[in-house]
Amino acid sequence: MREPITGGCCCGGVRYEVRGQLRQIIACHCVQCRRTSGHFVAATACRRPAFRLVQSATLKWYVAVPGYRRGFCSECGASLFFEQEGGERISIAAGSLDQPHGLTIVQHIFASEAGDYYRLDDAPVSPGKQHSVPLPPLP
């Protein structure tokens, strides 16, 4: 069995592990993600059963849209997770992984909401504001 993939926040108040494959990275440019992160969100994901919180003393959840929540560290402020409540997967901020795992940005979503101070030129862009191009399947 391969070693778990680990990650967490800056202060160590939140630590997690993934025992399974991670999806390639999707960059979300929606206004909510940009305001949460200060730029755009680059996230991987895994199936819910493969994910385990190891330390969650400072983990807080924020609900901006009913049925969806964002996990962050209440101590250092790191933005860590996004999930549909009761959903089959959890999205994980790619920058919170402890080590690189060969993941790359494969798609941009909500590109029409991107900030005017940067360009999107490293992966396919989904048209419009909706997830009109299907997200890559989870492994």
CATH number of the CATH domain containing 16: 2.170.150.70
**How many Å apart are CA 91 and CA 42, to the nearest integer?**
10
User: What pTM did the predictor assign?
Assistant: 0.84
Residue 99 falls within a domain, yes or no? Answer: yes
Q: Which residues pair with 90 in a beta bridge?
A: 46
Q: What is the pLDDT of residue 54?
A: 97
CA 61 from centre of chain: 14
* Average pLDDT by stretches of 10, the chain with 139 residues: 88 96 93 90 96 97 92 97 94 93 89 85 57 48
Residue 124 falls within a domain, yes or no? Answer: no
Residue 136 falls within a domain, yes or no? Answer: no
Residue 19 falls within a domain, yes or no? Answer: yes
Q: What is the pLDDT of residue 28?
A: 93
Residue 135 falls within a domain, yes or no? Answer: no
Among 81, 76, 75, 113, residue whose Cα is nearest residue 94: 81
Query: How many domains does the chain divide into?
Result: 1
Helix, strand, or coil here: 112? helix
Q: Which residues pair with 56 in a beta bridge?
A: 14
Residue 138 falls within a domain, yes or no? Answer: no
The first and second tokens of residue 27, run together, are 């960059």
Residues whose CB falls within 8 Å of the CB of residue 16, separated by 6 or more in sequence, listed in order: 6, 7, 8, 51, 52, 53, 54, 80, 92
Q: Which residues pair with 97 in a beta bridge?
A: 7
Question: Residue 68 is part of which domain span?
Answer: 5-113
